[in-house]
Amino acid sequence: MDGGFTSSVEETLCCFSLLAQATENIYFIYDYENDRLYFSENIQKAGDLFPFGQKYCKLEEWQNRMETCDAAHLTQLISDLVSHKSERIEFNYRLCNAQNEYVWINTRGKGCYRADRSLCCIIGQLSVSRDERQQETYNHKELKCEIREILKNVNPCYLLLIGVDNLKAINLTNGRDFGDTVLNDIARIIGEETGQRFRVYRINGDWFAVNLQNTSEEEVRDIFRRVQQRMASQCTLSAGCVSYIDYHVTDESILLQYAESALDCSKSQGKDRLT
């Protein structure tokens, strides 16, 4: 690594450490060319994740503490960054701490490239998952109550249903704990991408619903696309959407059936799409 880049890493880590004082996030830089993974100083306080006093580690050292399938997945995600198949990663994985206990780590990062488009480094943040951070979700009965209230008005609104593709296969391959984390992440990301303005409902186990009030069709598509992109490293998603204005119904169950039919259509036509 040249001196200029080393200095840049040190300066960035200094900024990250200051930023970390105001957040619960841990920041990292992965120098791809020299295989050095750096963290902000507050990683020392995060459940014994990193040896005290160590400045950086090699990616393989970090992966050796991950579940085998998670480590392989991370390798593929980095390969996708190198090949420009993607420019960002969002990934949950299990990491063994100093007490030989697995903790869930949520990682978000972005590839940084040189002028020749070769990968220079990955910069991002990670956090230790905790149950209290889960997005609050509501049930099927509560969803019907909200639909009933919206039907009384004439404001533009879309009912968006999002379903996980191949959840059974995900559970068989990675374990049910991983599948549960995927479901929690979807609920959280839907909440974040809608600005926490609307309730997120979990129905039928692996389906999620949200009423997007005063939202345009284009905005609905953008919301789903962003949720898809952020979950792409863990699963694909299918969705069905109906407009309250286009479907002139007075019964909440019928409107919900239209949305469910649209979601079923997405799954039958190849999945990973919005109908």
Domain ranges, residue 199: 134-268
Per residue in 71-120, pLDDT (tens digit) is 888 898 899 999 998 888 888 788 888 778 878 888 889 999 999 999 99
Give pLDDT, residue 250: 85
Instruction: Sheet containing 207-213: give its strands across.
Output: 201-203, 207-213, 157-164, 237-243
For residue 51, what is the domain's CATH number? Answer: 3.30.450.20
User: If you average pLDDT over residues 136-144, what whole number do you get?
Assistant: 83
Domain boundary among 131, 154, 189: 131
Backbone angles phi, psi at 159, to 5 degrees: -95, 115
Give pLDDT, residue 1: 44
d(CA 109, CA 119): 13
Count structural domains, the chain.
2
Per residue in 184-231, pLDDT (tens digit) is 899 999 999 998 899 999 988 899 999 999 999 999 999 999 999 999
d(CA 196, CA 207): 18
For residue 178, what is the domain's CATH number? Answer: 3.30.70.270
Whether the CB-CB separation of 167 and 174 falls below 8 Å is answered with: no
Same domain, 141 and 256: yes
Give pLDDT, residue 90: 82
d(CA 102, CA 88): 25
Same domain, 102 and 188: no
